[in-house]
Amino acid sequence: MSLRTSSLKVLIPLPNNDFDPTEASVSWKIVRDAGHEVVFATEDGKRPFADPMMITGEGLDPWGFIPVIKKLKLLGLIFRARRSARAAYREMEQDPNFLAPIRYADLKVADFDGLILPGGHAPAMRQYLESTVLLKFVAEFLENPSVGGAHKPVGAVCHGVVLAARAVSPRTGRSVLHGRKTTALTWTQEQSAWRVTKYFARFWDPRYYRTYSEDHGEPEGYWSVEAEVKRALADDADFITVPSGVAHAKLKTDNLHRDSIEDSRPAWVVRDGNYLSARWPGDVHTFAREFVGLLTEQR
């Protein structure tokens, strides 16, 4: 009989393009640096690419559609990933597992000890969010306990929570998040970033920050991350936002501050059993460290 080594195997599925570089690479780095193996999956088994604007910042200014001039960045410097996240992404690009992902169709729950679902808002994220194969796998992962009886750790950030919310349990016919508590990108956060890019940055591409937009007659925000996730839950109150009286509430809600490996004050992470969720890239260092804690408990 073989013995389990101290290293556990964690899966990060991604779309081929447009995922958020911070949510994926910082999670990868912290979990890997804790001594665990991280593997990746894409729909076709080809190497994925992050949303380029979130790396370079080019295209996020009002002149971002003009060749050469778009390299001058103002708003782009604010919206793009922080320096540490860009460095983590460059490092992740050298990982053989990242360069040779597994195909969604070849994923088996038994092969992994943990699952992380990053997000991203750009259009090509739909490949990941709408994959029936991946949705089925996520449902199985969240439903099936490990040999010891506990559910394997699952972490979701931002639009990754939408993927979990869309995963339907074959046992209940409901979302696997039904009855669980979660957080995700709030409508306040999404609307704020969307309006800035819509009116002051990418005015020629007003839908850039909204992965899904409302049809005629639907109220604004109906296809926001928060609204869609809430529709999957047992109760709206199970969507947990930052309480006004919590320590460092302003840092957590001003949409300006992000956490770091040294400072978790701006972060907001919600745990429900072995399911962990966070809102946006500004939470991901804390999110990844807490996910490592779940892995330690699992082991």
Q: What pLDDT does residue 5 have?
A: 45
Q: How far apart are CA 59 and CA 71, in angstroms?
A: 8
Which residues, at least 6 apart from 158, have a Cβ–Cβ distance to it below 8 Å?
20, 23, 118, 119, 120, 121, 184, 185, 225, 278, 279, 280, 281
- The CA-CA-CA angle for residues 132, 133, 137, to 5°, reads 115
Q: What pLDDT does residue 147 have?
A: 59
Q: Is the distance from CB of 278 to CB of 268 less than 8 angstroms?
A: yes
Which residues, at least 6 apart from 283, have a Cβ–Cβ distance to it below 8 Å?
157, 258, 259, 266, 267, 268, 269
* Domain 9-298 CATH (choose: 3.90.1150.10, 3.40.50.880, 3.40.50.970, 3.60.15.10): 3.40.50.880
Q: What pLDDT does residue 200 have?
A: 86
Domain map (residue ranges) of the chain: 9-298
Residues of the chain with pLDDT under 50: 1-5
Q: How far apart are CA 17 and CA 29, in angstroms?
A: 20
Q: What pLDDT does residue 201 have?
A: 87
What predicted TM-score, i.e. pTM, was given to this entire model? 0.95
17-35 tens-digit pLDDT: 999 999 999 999 999 999 9
